[in-house]
Structure 1
Amino acid sequence: MDDPESFAALFDRHADEIHRYAARRLGPEPAEDVTGEVFLVAFRRRARYDPAWSDARPWLYGIATKVVAQHRRTERRRNRAMARVGAERPGTFDDRSAERVTAQQLQPRLARALTLLNSGERDLLLLVAWTDLTYEETAIALGVPVGTVRSRLHRLRVKVRRALGGNDPFAEEPQHG
């Protein structure tokens, strides 16, 4: 981490993934800035990185989650806008049937459900759903014990399921860790 070229390799390896996470959280416009901020913070705090960690992703996602928190108003506006947008209805029965099982159909309802969560709940849920981190890596990213991740995630799934009228969009998610 002391070698700038090594840090450049870390950036090259993870910047696209952090950018995608930021874009999903805040939209494409602020994602570029957020990605830059994440790696600037990471560079400044590189001495705090625990070399015992085999993967820098949880550490970077932890930083990204905190930077996203600074951009929270943008995220709330985006979720509210997505919640107001309804999916367009295709014309045929087959198209309508296929649409019912797509994520696009669920998107406005899910966005509405996300607006009901506090920032810590939203951070946990989206880290698990979007980043492919294990529960252990999510715990590192958020700085909490893995048992806390598991119990909070269970409560969140119940809360989101209720907000969606009993449908759990995360029911098919594999159990990490």
Structure 2
Amino acid sequence: MTAVLGTDTPLREGVDDDAAVIGASLAEPDRFGEIYDRHAVAVHHYLARRIGASVADDLTSETFLSAFRIRGRYDRDRSDARPWLYGIATNLLHRHQRTERSGYRALARSGVDALDTGDHADTVAARVTAGAQAQEIAGVLARLTAKERDVLLLFAWAELSYQEIAEALRIPDGTVRSRLNRARRRLHTALDRPTH
């Protein structure tokens, strides 16, 4: 059995991988719905953590609409469509970068996460345990360049590998590694400082 990457659900025997589904959707457009069914929740979750749930709804729709429109250009040597979809989502997210940056700055100043997507009880418990640290992390995220933030959050939240991030953002693996290294150093520096 082959796993659908990005989920814990294995593909059943005889079920097409993403590349085969996208290829088939060129003649049978309704087949593209399978790609949505496999990956929409993960893409939405990633976007919601970055920009907030209400905007993530729109961006998720835009991501799959864009993917559908350009599906003829999909590299069918790649069986997993996640990096391609995350690349599209990240490009759309850049249109909303000011909102994202403002949210991180607000969290850094106030400790109130304007982009919160979780259950209220979980949020309160998490803030009690990690309040000051969350503010520091948010402050660091706000100060990262958009390119560093993209790499870090695709790695941490979307759980893409270096190679998948490179594919999603259309940059070399080495660039992914250097941006991720810089972002991690900034986070470690902020978190290793003694608190007052």
The reply to whether TM is greater than 0.5 is yes
Identity %: 52
> Measured at CA, do residues 73 and 99 of structure 1 come closer, stay the same or move farther in structure 2, by a change above 3 Å?
closer
1:27 to 52, 58, 75: 52
- Describe the superposition over 1:68-116 as per-residue Cα deviations: whole angstroms up to 9, x where unpaired: 10111111121112112338xxxxxxxxxx9799455522111111111
Moved more, 109-118 or 75-84: 75-84
Match of 2:161 in 1: 134
Q: Which runs of 5+ in 1 are unaligned?
A: 88-97, 168-177
Match of 2:133 in 1: 106
Q: What is the Cα-based RMSD across aligned positions, in Å?
A: 2.2
Residue pair 1:22, 1:31 contacting (<8 A) in 2 also: yes
User: What amino acid is the match of 1:83?
Assistant: A
How many aligned residue pairs are there?
A: 157
> Measured at CA, do residues 53 and 145 of structure 1 come closer, stay the same or move farther in structure 2, by a change above 3 Å?
same
Q: Which runs of 5+ in 2 are unaligned?
A: 1-21, 113-124
TM-score (norm 1): 0.81
Match of 1:76 in 2: 101
Q: Equivalent residues in 2 for 1:14-163 (5 A)?
A: 14-86=39-111, 102-163=129-190
1:12 partnered with 2:19: no
Three-state SS of the structure 2 residue aligned to 1:164 is helix
Shift of 1:118: 1.0
Shift of 1:9: 0.4
Structure 1: how far apart are the matches of 2:130 and 2:82?
26
Match of 1:164 in 2: 191
Structure 2: how far apart are the matches of 1:100 and 1:21?
20
User: What amino acid is the match of 1:111?
Assistant: A
- Describe the superposition over 1:107-155 as per-residue Cα deviations: whole angstroms up to 9, x where unpaired: 2111111111111111011000101111111110111111221122112
Moved more, 48-57 or 140-149: 140-149
Q: Which runs of 4 or more aligned residues in structure 1 lie more than 6 Å from their structure 2 counterparts after TM superposition?
A: 98-101
